[in-house]
Chain A
Amino acid sequence: MRISVVTFPGSNCDYDAYRVCLSRGHQTKLIWHKDTDLANPDLVILPGGFSYGDYLRGGALARFSPIVNEVISFAKKGGLLLGICNGFQILTECGLLPGTLLMNESLLFICKHQYIRVETEASPFTQSIGKGKVLDVPIAHKEGNFYTDSVTLKQLQDNNQIIFRYCDKQGEINLQSNPNGSLDNIAGICNPQRNILGMMPHPERSATDTVPTQDGRWIFEAIEKALE
């Protein structure tokens, strides 16, 4: 398939996502944020990093980049859009996903392995993984504490838009397995149309044989199957 990874000034996981997609045999392109052509992709990835140095707030300035208009219209037409970490922050900032990512409860940056549980199969990003599956997908962020108002939270819950929750090795979801204070242990959500996923964990960091864990591959495989 054709994948476009957007590079904002300050993105630093763009090349990681690019390399993982290439290694899986996909026609992958890095798209500069000032471009206005997404190169006709099947999937767009907004990668992790510190776009514009996270000045103001994570993702707050990136949404003014010219390419973001293209990303929005691509997604509105139903194109698959995956925002990872800073990419998730950008998606909430430009209104494609609800809520916001607050500073971690500890007020510190956290980089570690983290278990997340697949909460629904009803998304192109998880449909072949299986509900309840526990994956080790690393996190690395300072602003990953998902927050929204109670009405929106209820909508997310009722519409089955919560795709991943933080959990422990056994899949238990509780305070101890919540690394950042995220509301309802939310690690990733989708839009009501289910073609846009924002997630704080980094699937591209556990999808090659270089690194110690490989569970991120489940997510890439799911997307590949969905687009077959």
Chain B
Amino acid sequence: MKDYEITPKVIAEHNLSDEEYERITNILNREPTIVELGIFSVMWSEHASYKNSVLLLKTLPKEGSSLLAKAGEENAGLIDIGHGLAISFKIESHNHPSALEPYHGAATGVGGILRDIFTMGARPIAALNSLRFGNPGNPKVQHLLKEVVRGIADYGNCFGVPTVGGEVYFDDSYEGNPLVNAMAVGIVKHNKIARSAASGVGNAVLIVGAKTGRDGIHGATFASVVLSEKSEEKRTAVQVGDPFLEKLLLEATLEAIDEELVVAIQDMGAAGITCSTSEMAGKGNVGIEIDVALVPQRETDMTPYEIMLSESQERMLVIVKPENLEQIKSIFTKWELDAVQIGKVTDDKMLRVFYGEEKVAEIPAETLILGGSAPVYKRESKYPEYLDALHNYDIENLPEPDTYQEVLLKLIASSNISSRHQIYQQYDHMVQIGTVVEPGSDAAVVRIPDTDLAIGLSTDCNGRYCYLDPYLGALLAVAESARNVACSGAKPIAITNCLNFGNPYKPEVYYCFKESIRGMSDACKALGTPVTGGNVSFYNENPEGAIYPTPVIGMLGLMTDYRKATTQYFKHENDIIVLLGSLKASFGGSEYLKIQHNIIAGKPPIVDLEEELHLQDLILELIDKGLVNSAHDISEGGLLIAVLESCFNPEQLFGAKLSFDLELNPAKIYFGEAAGRILISAAKDKYNSIKEAAMKHGIEYHKIGIVSANSSFIVNNHINEDMAILHSAWKQGII
């Protein structure tokens, strides 16, 4: 190894700055070996170190009585739901791999997040995903979309986790840099929670699962640079997944944890053996010594550098007491998996790597990790001038459309609103027989096995809102995801987040990041939903510039009785349709503005967080008392789109007859967007109770119409359209 010279070129290729290299030589008191350089490079990459984000992330609210692990402490967030049970959940990005190899990139994104969940001892019971693409009219975007969806489907379906929800949006800003954020949710008994901090000097360090190959070398550093034309050459940095192996790894891992044979465990994702050994040692305040020659390999002549940096999938690092070695090996053998001791826990806090007899790396573990002394930066932030122009754009004096009916048809068929069934039908969303509310409604509802409990799950972020106002946009994303979950009957209890942004070294990008964190923080505090963890993905850019700031929120809600779960769909003819919230809305950042006028400008809707909380309490109370038959968050496309979506009951198509006073321009009321609004339907005789409850919570309400079984959609004297036409326009979909 010593014959490899560390030149400035080599250092630059490892994406380390001069300052960072100097820091390395100071830590080691010598020049690093090439293996050490590789280790520092991946551990100090943005992806692993959060060096440019962690100071701001620390400002997020992380306190809550039900939190069993602090954000960042374990592989995923952990929330107590009573009955001796906990929910483990997390969302993570796999944007750059998916841009180059959409199928494998998306598949391994799912695989990685599932491992984060079951490495904690939790059995995954649900998966979701949040996707962003460029213009769907572009054939390359269609290719990316199809392959990403197929990748998610093939992995999750084979693994046997129901993919119950998510979102897909299209906007030019994501051209060439799609976002693929995967979320997973698992269930674990309190007494079976596995931790990642290594302990017990002399304990064995095992690598279990798949063999190690050359795939994904430098995936973490790759994720930490801007994509360019040359990125195509980095295809080998994209890993290849094997969901069948992961299913075996799941069963073997849970069996080993259940048998109490595991002292500590961590999955191998980004930065592979390097990350798991240094983090487990660093967190446990111990050392780890390994011989990489002992790692089972699927390729020949792999160097220690390659073995340390490989991101081969479906592997775990496990710390085991020596007396339990044979027993744990027999479990993995039963599942036809490797379980090989590659080292031991030491007391000197060093990460020491051998290749046979030869020592190839020796680094204090703590210097490598987040929370240790890995570099942390505060970046320069600058208000983006373009925001002024966007906010000052005159969107108030646009002409009213000639016919509202045509606008409605255009909107319902548009790429951001039309049906997603072609996507979610490719995902097995029913396996594990716990799916109470299937994809298509505001939030998915999944029952917790052997209890009456259920969880509501939703992912949300309106990137356009975040572009127009990063503070408000992030705040709205939290509010909307909570509202979605509340509409299903579940009380929002915690979030995970996936923060997708451009290059943090651009002050305008950093400003957006900072403002988004502030917005998310304010909303989470007000709504009582702490941040349990998540992921930051910077450098999401294409040659045109950064993507829209896209802080995706994954919301977890809890309901005590799964039988009360509610969908967005109308259920009965002659039910009344009631709007909870104001009829007032605005055009800023709306789908209407984009579709009808091809304008993206204005300010996103303002949200009053206190009122939002009251609204959510109100809908939870109405659902709990059985007063409503449906509840639907009113979001993109505005009021009429929400009514139509409620008409599109998969069991039976309903119509609606709406009539209400118009105080503003009709277009604004029909298609404008506002936060804090829910559309409900209810039996006529429930209206008085609903009114009383709304008044008690101080929420405005408007009876706006009636559900009909006939096939017309009627709005005042403006719209009278055949439901079959609207339904087929919507169902046309996007693929």
Q: Interface of A with B (CB < 8 Å)? A: 9-10, 12-13, 15-16, 19-20, 48-50, 52-55, 108-113, 138, 140, 142, 202, 204-205, 208-212
Select A54's contact among B158, B159, B434, B447, beta carbons within 8 Å.
Answer: B158
**Interface majority SS on A: helix, strand, loop or mixed?**
loop
Task: Output the least CB separation between A192 and chain B (Å).
Answer: 32
Question: B169 — which chain A residues lie within 8 A by C-beta?
Answer: none
Q: How far is A160 from B425 in the complex, measured between Cα atoms in Å?
A: 32
Q: How far is A58 from B674 in the complex, measured between Cα atoms in Å?
A: 49
Question: A48 — which chain B residues lie within 8 A by C-beta?
Answer: 431
Pairwise interchain contact A50-B247, C-beta atoms closer than 8 A: yes
Pairwise interchain contact A12-B433, C-beta atoms closer than 8 A: no
Pairwise interchain contact B435-A12, C-beta atoms closer than 8 A: no
Pairwise interchain contact B430-A138, C-beta atoms closer than 8 A: yes
Task: Output the least CB separation between B422 and chain A (Å).
Answer: 9
Pairwise interchain contact B434-A210, C-beta atoms closer than 8 A: yes
Pairwise interchain contact B430-A12, C-beta atoms closer than 8 A: no
Q: How far is A49 from B242 in the complex, measured between Cα atoms in Å?
A: 15
Pairwise interchain contact B247-A10, C-beta atoms closer than 8 A: yes
* Chain A CB within 10 A, most for which of B153, B242, B432, B436: B432
Pairwise interchain contact B244-A50, C-beta atoms closer than 8 A: yes
Known: A10-B247, A111-B426. A16 touches B431 (CB 8 A): yes
Pairwise interchain contact B157-A109, C-beta atoms closer than 8 A: yes
Q: How far is A13 from B433 in the complex, measured between Cα atoms in Å?
A: 9
What is the size, in residues, of chain B's interface with A at 8 Å between Cβ atoms? 35
Interchain Cβ contacts under 8 Å between A and B, 7 examples: A9-B248, A15-B432, A16-B432, A53-B243, A109-B428, A113-B650, A140-B428
Select B431's contact among A13, A55, A108, A212, beta carbons within 8 Å.
Answer: A13
Select B158's contact among A10, A20, A108, beta carbons within 8 Å.
Answer: A10
Residue of A nearest to B335 (CB): A9
Binary per-residue interface labels of chain B (397-430) against chain A in the complex, 1 for a CB within 8 Å, 0 otherwise? 0000000000000000000000001001111111
Known: A12-B159, A108-B150, A111-B426. A53 touches B431 (CB 8 A): no
Pairwise interchain contact A109-B154, C-beta atoms closer than 8 A: yes
Select A50's contact among B158, B429, B434, beta carbons within 8 Å.
Answer: B158
Question: B449 — which chain A residues lie within 8 A by C-beta?
Answer: 19
Pairwise interchain contact A108-B426, C-beta atoms closer than 8 A: yes
Q: How far is A111 from B152 in the complex, measured between Cα atoms in Å?
A: 14
Question: B336 — which chain A residues lie within 8 A by C-beta?
Answer: 9
Known: A9-B248, A12-B160, A49-B160. A140 touches B150 (CB 8 A): no
Binary per-residue interface labels of chain B (125-168) against chain A in the complex, 1 for a CB within 8 Å, 0 otherwise? 00000000000000000000000001001100111100000000
Task: Output the least CB separation between A28 and chain B (Å).
Answer: 15
Question: A54 — which chain B residues lie within 8 A by C-beta?
Answer: 158, 244
Known: A53-B242, A108-B426. A208 touches B433 (CB 8 A): yes
Interface residues of B in 524-561 (CB under 8 A from A): none
Known: A10-B244, A12-B160. A109 touches B153 (CB 8 A): yes
B671 within 8 A of partner (CB): no
Residue of B nearest to A10 (CB): B244
Residue of B nearest to A16 (CB): B433
Task: Output the least CB separation between B713 and chain A (Å).
Answer: 22
Task: Output the least CB separation between A208 and chain B (Å).
Answer: 6
Task: Output the least CB separation between B312 and chain A (Å).
Answer: 17
| Sample of 11 further A-B pairs with CB below 8 A, known A12-B431, A50-B244, A108-B426 | A9-B336, A12-B247, A16-B432, A19-B449, A109-B153, A109-B427, A109-B428, A111-B429, A202-B430, A211-B434, A211-B436
Question: B562 — which chain A residues lie within 8 A by C-beta?
Answer: 210
Binary per-residue interface labels of chain B (429-473) against chain A in the complex, 1 for a CB within 8 Å, 0 otherwise? 111111110100000000101000000000000000000000000
Question: A111 — which chain B residues lie within 8 A by C-beta?
Answer: 157, 424-430
Question: A15 — which chain B residues lie within 8 A by C-beta?
Answer: 432
Task: Output the least CB separation between A33 and chain B (Å).
Answer: 11
Residue of A nearest to B429 (CB): A111
Question: A202 — which chain B residues lie within 8 A by C-beta?
Answer: 430
Pairwise interchain contact A112-B425, C-beta atoms closer than 8 A: yes
Residue of A nearest to B251 (CB): A9
Question: B157 — which chain A residues lie within 8 A by C-beta?
Answer: 50, 109, 111, 140, 142
Q: How far is A202 from B435 in the complex, measured between Cα atoms in Å?
A: 14
Residue of B nearest to A55 (CB): B244
Question: B248 — which chain A residues lie within 8 A by C-beta?
Answer: 9-10
Pairwise interchain contact B244-A211, C-beta atoms closer than 8 A: no
Pairwise interchain contact A52-B427, C-beta atoms closer than 8 A: no
Question: A9 — which chain B residues lie within 8 A by C-beta?
Answer: 244, 247-248, 335-336
Interface residues of B in 322-349 (CB under 8 A from A): 335-336
Question: B158 — which chain A residues lie within 8 A by C-beta?
Answer: 10, 12, 50, 53-54
Residue of B nearest to A13 (CB): B431
Question: A12 — which chain B residues lie within 8 A by C-beta?
Answer: 158-160, 247, 431
Q: How far is A111 from B421 in the complex, measured between Cα atoms in Å?
A: 10
Pairwise interchain contact B244-A53, C-beta atoms closer than 8 A: yes
